[in-house]
Structure 1
Amino acid sequence: MTAIRTNTSVRWLPGMVTLALLLVAGSAFFGEYRVSLADFGNTMLGSPPAPMTEFFVMQRRIPRALVALMAGMLLAASGSLLQQLLRNPLASPDIIGITNGASLGGCVVILLLGGSLIDASIGALLGAFAAASILLVAVRVFRLNGTRLILLGVGLAALSTALVNYMLTQVFVPSAQIAQTWLVGTLQGRGWSELPWLVLGVALLVLVQLCFDRELRMLAMGDDLAAALGVNVARIRAVLFAAAAVLAALAVLCTGPIGFVALVAPHISHSLTGSRNLLVCALTGGILLMLSDLVAQYALPVALPVGVVTIIFGGGFFLGLLFRQGRVRG
């Protein structure tokens, strides 16, 4: 049955890749500055009809869509890994504090050490690792799981947010403005400079899928059975926890803490395919974030940060999931 589901999910990949690429290309046609199909084709071939066309297509819309696609992929993959490792449908980096840890680490570098947004990458990675390490210790040493583990993560997220807010009130105003811009969770102004970090994350995602797919499927059967089948449960869980933290940290570094994509995308992907294939889940998250960004930019009279749209959609989904889990347990 597992093999059948895995094969079924892989068959979704070509269609989802095609849809993702169509959305990236289609993003060039949205906005006040109109671009015709012929102008788009000529611009992509290196012969733009006007400088403004090249600017909007190649410097604004296409790179922004690529950032949305890859950041959504990293968030969704991180959420899927955590849900599988903790065997909890509510686990995601923004719910259990990993995203907030990355935000805290980045803000420490920007606000206290005077670093740039590029320097903040080290702080974001360290902050995400610290939060993931606390959760891993809670699972392995204190045997926390289920609701108690989620509550610990919520506590970590609240503590990180409180520390960030305190630092914002105590530092030089320009530094606070830089950090606040990053913390909004938006794709505004994002482009080619963020893509190298995201490409690195996508490469890590593919590596995890290729190297650990078997171990993930065995861990889904339970730790005892996985260990009996030869899986070093403690080592694999630590490695995959670290991978989930890095994926979330790279997404936060490039876009700020965009909420709920990591929680919602794995459930949508699983409902469609019946499996937890990371690549399918990641593409679901990328498509979801691109669609959310288009809604945030063009569906309302005033453009909104994409994080607002994902919170509205994801918050409703989260409440529905909590209600469903409560009914099942009741």
Structure 2
Amino acid sequence: MALLETVERPSTADALAAARRGPRRRRRVVVVTLLVLLVALVVVRALLGDYRVSLPDAVRILGGEQIPGASFVLMESTLPRAVMGVLAGAAFGAAGSAFQVMLRNPIASPDVLGVTLGASAGAVLAVVAFGVRGAPVTLAALAGAVLAAVVILSQAGGGGGATGRMVLVGVALAAGLSALVQWLLVRASTYQAQDALVWLSGSLNTVTWTDIARLLVLDALLLPLLLAMAGRLPVLGLGDDLAAGLGVRVTRLRVGVTVLVVGLVAAATALVGPVAFVGFLSGPIARRLTPGRPAVGVAALVGAVVVVAADYAAAYAIPGTALPVGLVTGLLGAPVLLWMLRSRPTPEGR
């Protein structure tokens, strides 16, 4: 009788497997939902503008057929902006989330710690001091971001306080670079200041397929590497000594992640300017959608969704006025951040 009444209990391994299936299922649902939303936003951004292109005409144009008016609008204006919004948003979102996880600080995004401002300062210096345009401005922005990252890493030092020092050095550097940009704008002529301010606001207005190809190559190379390294970042939350004891090469991991983040941020900023708040907010939003493991990949999707949606709103929210996308993300970023601070806090390093 006792044998008949015996109830088979699940093993510990079965219980752990069941506990893991819930977060994995939620992550899959979130990723699929974000992908569907992103595709829908790209279609809306590409087809529904001042000049509307029907879906059958868009398919014919993409197949190589020329339709007067529609071909130019789709291939030279709306579609490039939508594609660049996806690529730049993914770069900003993934980079911001990786920095926040690595430094165990929800405000430690590249735009707060001076990496993005380094690119901005380099571009403004090239425009104001040397009067250059086009590709030299892009190279100057890349050089500025790299130099800012080198300063942060060189002053951070080693040991358990390295991440804290990186945050402090980054904040101080951002303040100094912001003052430098303002000084350059004050000394600039009216036309130079206008060019610099358009670039500083963050805009997709002048993107080309050549720019898209460059950022696509960099995203395809750097994003997979960043996703592969992101899985080891939470170990840094245990402290450098314990992380090293677990087999993690702390300095190499920190430098490697920083290099990848700088590459993504510098490339995107050099082409579209510093789109405000995308890197800052994508990580916290992604962690709320998929709590638990690092959400760098989800943050990349969130960043792409935010930039494409903001660019559409910037173009058509005010009739007759095309706003820079960075202005819209900046206006939306502050209230979203306040809402996040008032709601349930997100654990650090998750």
State if a TM-score over 0.5 links the two structures.
yes
Describe the shift of the 1:270–1:197 C-alpha distance in structure 2 as closer, same or farther (beyond 3 A): same
Partner in structure 1 of residue 65 of structure 2: 47
SS across alignment from 1:119: helix
Query: Does the aligned pair in 2 maintain the 1:86–1:145 contact within 8 Å?
Result: yes
Return the match for 1:319 from 338, 342, 349.
338
Partner in structure 2 of residue 101 of structure 1: 118
Which digits, 9 at most, give the CA deviation of each residue in 1:63-118, with x for residues without a partner? 10011111111111110111011100111111121111111122223333444331
SS across alignment from 1:34: coil
Matched, 1:295 2:313: yes
Query: Does the aligned pair in 2 maintain the 1:9–1:277 contact within 8 Å?
Result: no
Partner in structure 2 of residue 170 of structure 1: 187
Aligned-residue offset at 1:282: 0.5
Return the match for 2:298 from 280, 285, 292.
280
- Residues in 1 aligned to 2:24 and 2:152: alpha-carbon distance in whole angstroms: 29
- Residues in 2 aligned to 1:89 and 1:252: alpha-carbon distance in whole angstroms: 21
Which digits, 9 at most, give the CA deviation of each residue in 1:213-268, with x for residues without a partner? 44224334443332111111011101111211121111111111111010111111
Report 1:143-292 matches (<5 A): 143=161, 150=167, 152-171=169-188, 174-209=191-226, 211-274=228-291, 275-292=293-310
Aligned-residue offset at 1:151: 5.6
How many aligned positions are there?
A: 327
Describe the shift of the 1:210–1:161 C-alpha distance in structure 2 as closer, same or farther (beyond 3 A): closer
TM-score, normalised relative to structure 1 = 0.87
Return the match for 1:304 from 323, 333, 337.
323
- Residues in 1 aligned to 2:127 and 2:347: alpha-carbon distance in whole angstroms: 45
Describe the shift of the 1:296–1:171 C-alpha distance in structure 2 as closer, same or farther (beyond 3 A): closer
What amino acid does structure 2 have at the position aligned with 1:289? Answer: V
Which digits, 9 at most, give the CA deviation of each residue in 1:168-191, with x for residues without a partner? 343465544433332221122223
Which digits, 9 at most, give the CA deviation of each residue in 1:101-144, with x for residues without a partner? 11112222333344433122332222212222333344435936
Return the match for 1:63 from 69, 75, 80.
80
- Residues in 2 aligned to 1:328 and 1:232: alpha-carbon distance in whole angstroms: 24
- Residues in 2 aligned to 1:219 and 1:277: alpha-carbon distance in whole angstroms: 16
- Residues in 2 aligned to 1:3 and 1:131: alpha-carbon distance in whole angstroms: 40
Query: Does the aligned pair in 2 maintain the 1:139–1:145 contact within 8 Å?
Result: yes
The percent identity for this pair of structures is 35
**Larger CA Rg, structure 1 vs 2:** 2
What amino acid does structure 1 have at the position aligned with 2:318? Answer: L
- Residues in 1 aligned to 2:171 and 2:214: alpha-carbon distance in whole angstroms: 27
Partner in structure 1 of residue 12 of structure 2: none
Return the match for 1:111 from 116, 128, 134.
128
Query: Does the aligned pair in 2 maintain the 1:110–1:117 contact within 8 Å?
Result: no
- Which moves more between the two structures, 129-138 or 94-103? 129-138
TM-score, normalised relative to structure 2 = 0.82
Query: Does the aligned pair in 1 maintain the 2:227–2:296 contact within 8 Å?
Result: no
Partner in structure 2 of residue 121 of structure 1: 138
Cα RMSD (Å): 3.0
- Which moves more between the two structures, 61-70 or 30-39? 30-39
Structure 1 gap segments, 5+ residues each: none
- Residues in 1 aligned to 2:223 and 2:25: alpha-carbon distance in whole angstroms: 17
- Residues in 2 aligned to 1:197 and 1:262: alpha-carbon distance in whole angstroms: 20
- Residues in 2 aligned to 1:214 and 1:328: alpha-carbon distance in whole angstroms: 17
Aligned-residue offset at 1:328: 9.8
- Residues in 1 aligned to 2:347 and 2:306: alpha-carbon distance in whole angstroms: 27
Runs of 4+ in structure 1 deviating by more than 6 angstroms, as ranges, are: 324-329
Query: Does the aligned pair in 1 maintain the 2:288–2:346 contact within 8 Å?
Result: no
SS across alignment from 1:258: coil
- Which moves more between the two structures, 27-36 or 106-115? 106-115
What amino acid does structure 2 have at the position aligned with 1:58? Answer: M
Describe the shift of the 1:117–1:186 C-alpha distance in structure 2 as closer, same or farther (beyond 3 A): same
Query: Does the aligned pair in 1 maintain the 2:287–2:346 contact within 8 Å?
Result: no
